[in-house]
Amino acid sequence: VCGAGSDELITLLIRAYAGPGDEVLYSQHGFLMYPIATKGVGAVPVTAAETNMTTSVDALLAAVTEKTKIVFVANPNNPTGTYINDAEMKRLRDGLREDIVLVVDAAYAEFMTGQEDYSAGEELVRAGKNTVMTRTFSKIYGLGGIRLGWCYAPVDIADVLQRLRNPFNVALPTQEAGLAALDDDEFVNACVRHNAETLAWFRDQVNAIDGLIAHPSYGNFVLVEFPKEEGKNADAANDFMMAQGVIPRKIGAYGLPQMLRISIGTKEEMEICLKAIKDFVNR
């Protein structure tokens, strides 16, 4: 099923399978569309603690109640950039009641080419126990503005989503752009390579700065952790960088107020970003 971004599919899944009194479960620093859409249907968002900013299958399973209807795992997750391996995701599915829908949000799957223990979730969908995989053209394809996402789901779930979505949810120019993008392997490969190289370089550069930590990431962004002191913290860094024309992302709403999320751009853009960070630290 295609949607106006995977965000629309997330919203449709929640509208289809959760309502007032029900619980939708996701991990502590999980993608914010899950609680936003959950509140929109009058259901209750429930979080499970993470370990080292990584989804914990044990914590998710422990947080399941009779009211749990859907479990969301962004894998890799935004904004943490961490992932759980195929065996862990299977262990999660096996530990959930069969009537709970597991949504594997694989928005960054294309960036995971080097990770042999990773799976985007298609096998679990095929295994037929109420698992859905969502994907998007917004990340590796760089087409966030055309609004195109898709999900792979068991037939009965796909049928429900087809009935719930607006009949013309994906515009024709968007469909054409998506089809063209699917043929552009060269662009995808170049992006994967560029992201891997530039992310590693950027992390090394930031980690060489006293007091800052650039956390490992499997996405196309890095979390930079700042000291807690006023004037040196993430809020101050954000204001300083914004004034230089560099736009990081504050992620206090994700429970990570001491960090900024920085997207990987061109090498030139990352050099400008790095200079802004250095100027902030040395000012």
Ligand X SMILES: *Cc1c(COP(=O)(O)O)cnc(C)c1O
Q: Give the footprint of ligand X on this chain (CB under 6 A).
A: 5-7, 31, 74, 78, 105, 107, 136, 138, 144, 149
Phi, psi of 195 (to 5 degrees): -65, -45
Measured distance CA(163)–CA(43) in Å, rounded: 21
Measured distance CA(49)–CA(204) in Å, rounded: 29
Question: Least Å distance between CB 277 and ligand X?
Answer: 23
Q: By three-state DSSP, how is residue 58 classified?
A: helix
Question: Least Å distance between CB 262 and ligand X?
Answer: 14
Measured distance CA(226)–CA(245) in Å, rounded: 19
Nearer to ligand X, 17 or 31 (CB): 31
Question: Least Å distance between CB 149 and ligand X?
Answer: 4
Nearer to ligand X, 7 or 22 (CB): 7
Measured distance CA(55)–CA(37) in Å, rounded: 20
Measured distance CA(169)–CA(212) in Å, rounded: 43
Distances (CA, A) of 124 to 22, 91, 94: 24, 11, 10
Nearer to ligand X, 68 or 134 (CB): 134
Question: Least Å distance between CB 76 and ligand X?
Answer: 8
Measured distance CA(277)–CA(207) in Å, rounded: 12
Nearer to ligand X, 28 or 212 (CB): 28
255: left (phi over 0), alpha (psi -120 to 50) or beta: left
Question: Least Å distance between CB 150 and ligand X?
Answer: 9
Question: Least Å distance between CB 173 and ligand X?
Answer: 16
Tell me the residue number closest to ligand X, measured at CB: 5
Nearer to ligand X, 149 or 178 (CB): 149
Nearer to ligand X, 212 or 215 (CB): 215
